[in-house]
């Protein structure tokens, strides 16, 4: 009898070998070809080692491409950037022949930098799947494996139990709003922070606190604002809680969700202490208002996988949204907020290559990057110490308030006026660093640093920052 059971188990285990897909997964010839392909790309990319100026013979052709894409889009690119498709680590080659140090990484997409061999191999394996795009109605194993990984890491320090994919952070946030409103119907109001950014759809433009992003759009009056943490005001947390309670009293049982970025992204990269949020989150729990953390930008960047873990807020989470690092969008939620059939769907859930690359990135991050002594925190400390050193010496007072969380780093150049900050970003680009701005009054310089940056790269970045400051505007 025991022998028969063992035979049955072995038969089930070996039955996987009957699937053509499993043969493709484990075929040594395919594996060898993938490795050879990526290895050859790495040999070619090895010429890209550090910042390089434009090549004079390529400048005019590059400008023509920039003008062409501007005409196609109806507006010019923010940076004069068209990539050649080649890069290595923190460095990327663009069409004028220059090599830039990429410290914005597609506003946070490329956490492992450019052309990381493990990410490329994973993406190539995904490209060998029978479909380019996967959907929520017909998933392949890549979908299942990434979902399993996200649910596993999300559930370690919270009650999050489910994950639903979408194509971007905006759609992940749209699903979050739908889940919160369905569960808490007829409540429909959303409470969000001042200077929040939530995405580019009509609803997310409402949640976003930037009039420039919704010119000509109607006001739906469904979003209520809470003042941000102000480190100069010791009563900042009291003011925020009082405002939340006033909203709840005025809109009794009409508030469906409280949305917050654990650290504001576009709002300025200003770290917020746990003590600021806890009273508001506890109040939300008492009032049965969904707690929704928008971690589209903070995910995998703060030293833990989730900023809610870094800040010790996991017990309060009902819904968490992520994107960027994971190469697609995802809404994570508790059993309580698991929606009824039909509420969320979508033709696309993400590309097969995006799923395999996203899973590989998550597994790589567990190899020494995450945790209080991980590489992410080391990078942060080295960068911040370097900027502060410049601010105290050669760039006296011109690189103030350096801070952020983990790989999210920002500082205020000069007086933080818009023209100064925009000019500084443009000169940084000319000198070899790709950056962006964030915040309002002051405008700050924003870096989304790749996790693979080396100490020598940080030293070079600081040299370029110093040079750019001393050149003035």
- Tell me the domains of the chain and their CATH numbers: 48-110+372-473 (3.90.1150.10), 124-365 (3.40.640.10)
Interatomic CA distance for residues 172 and 320, integer angstroms? 9
Rounded to the nearest 5 percent, the helix, strand and coil shares of the chain are: 45, 15, 35
CA atoms within 13 A on the CB side of 272: 25
Query: Per residue of the chain (473 residues), what is the pLDDT tens digit?
Result: 556 555 554 554 556 679 999 999 999 999 999 999 999 999 999 999 999 999 999 999 999 999 999 999 999 999 999 999 999 999 999 999 999 999 999 999 999 999 999 999 999 999 999 999 999 899 999 999 999 999 999 999 999 999 999 999 999 999 999 999 999 999 999 999 999 999 999 999 999 999 999 999 999 999 999 999 999 999 999 999 999 999 999 999 999 999 999 999 988 998 999 999 999 999 999 999 999 999 999 999 999 999 999 999 999 999 999 999 999 999 999 999 999 999 999 999 999 999 999 999 999 999 999 999 999 999 999 999 999 999 999 999 999 999 999 999 999 999 999 999 999 999 999 999 999 999 998 999 999 999 999 999 999 999 999 999 999 86
Position 3 scores a pLDDT of 61
Position 17 scores a pLDDT of 74
Neighbours of 36 (CB within 10 A): 10
Query: 292 has which bridge partners?
Result: 259, 319
Token pair for residue 208? 């976003």
Interatomic CA distance for residues 253 and 350, integer angstroms? 36
pTM > 0.85: yes or no: yes
Pairing verdict, β 290-294 and 255-260: parallel
Position 13 scores a pLDDT of 53
| E runs forming strands in 247-310 | 255-260, 290-294
**Angle 236-250/274-287 helices, nearest 10 degrees?**
20
DSSP annotation of 315 reads G
Interatomic CA distance for residues 131 and 124, integer angstroms? 13
Token pair for residue 212? 């420039």
Interatomic CA distance for residues 228 and 239, integer angstroms? 9
Token pair for residue 436? 């962006």
Interatomic CA distance for residues 69 and 229, integer angstroms? 40
Position 7 scores a pLDDT of 59
Token pair for residue 230? 């102000």
Token pair for residue 291? 């707690």
């Amino acid at each position: 009898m025991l022998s028969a059971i063992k035979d049955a188990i072995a038969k089930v285990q070996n039955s996987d070998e009957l699937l053509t897909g499993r043969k493709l997964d484990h075929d040594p010839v395919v594996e060898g070809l993938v490795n050879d392909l990526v290895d050859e790309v790495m040999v070619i990319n090895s010429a890209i080692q550090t910042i390089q100026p434009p090549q004079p013979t390529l400048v005019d052709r590059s400008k023509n491409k920039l003008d062409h894409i501007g005409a196609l889009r109806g507006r010019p690119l923010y940076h004069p950037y068209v990539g050649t498709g080649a890069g290595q680590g923190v460095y990327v080659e663009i069409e004028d022949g220059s090599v830039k140090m990429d410290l914005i990484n597609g506003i946070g997409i490329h956490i492992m930098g450019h052309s990381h061999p493990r990410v490329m191999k994973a993406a190539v394996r995904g490209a060998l799947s029978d479909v380019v795009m996967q959907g929520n109605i017909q998933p392949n194993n890549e979908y299942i494996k990434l979902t399993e990984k996200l649910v596993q890491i999300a559930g370690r320090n919270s009650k999050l139990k489910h994950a639903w994919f979408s194509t971007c952070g905006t759609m992940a946030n749209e699903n979050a709003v739908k889940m919160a409103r369905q569960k808490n119907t007829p409540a429909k109001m959303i409470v969000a922070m001042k200077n929040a950014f939530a995405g580019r759809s009509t609803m997310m433009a409402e949640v976003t606190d930037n009039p420039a992003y919704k010119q000509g759009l109607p006001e739906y009056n469904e979003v209520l604002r809470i003042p941000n943490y102000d480190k100069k005001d010791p009563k900042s947390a009291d003011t925020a809680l009082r405002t939340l309670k006033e909203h709840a009293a005025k809109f009794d049982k009409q508030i469906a969700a409280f949305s917050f970025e654990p650290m504001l992204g576009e709002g300025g990269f200003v770290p917020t202490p746990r003590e600021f949020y806890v009273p508001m989150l506890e109040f939300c729990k008492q009032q049965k208002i969904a707690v929704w953390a928008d971690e589209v930008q903070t995910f995998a960047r703060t030293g833990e996988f989730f900023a809610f873990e870094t800040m010790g807020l996991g017990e309060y989470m009902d819904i968490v949204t992520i994107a960027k690092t994971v190469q697609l969008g995802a809404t994570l939620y508790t059993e309580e907020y698991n929606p009824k059939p039909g509420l969320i769907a979508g033709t696309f859930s993400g590309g097969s290559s995006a799923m395999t690359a996203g899973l590989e990135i998550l597994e790589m991050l567990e190899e020494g990057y995450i945790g209080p002594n991980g590489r992410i925190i080391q990078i942060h400390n080295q960068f911040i110490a370097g900027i502060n050193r410049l601010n105290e010496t050669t760039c006296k007072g011109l690189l103030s308030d350096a801070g952020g969380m983990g790989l999210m780093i920002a500082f205020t150049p000069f007086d933080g006026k818009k023209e100064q900050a925009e000019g500084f970003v443009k000169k940084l680009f000319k000198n070899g660093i790709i950056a962006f701005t964030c915040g309002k009054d002051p405008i700050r310089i924003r870096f989304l640093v790749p996790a693979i940056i080396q100490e020598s790269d940080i030293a070079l970045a600081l040299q370029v920052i110093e040079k750019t400051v001393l050149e003035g505007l």
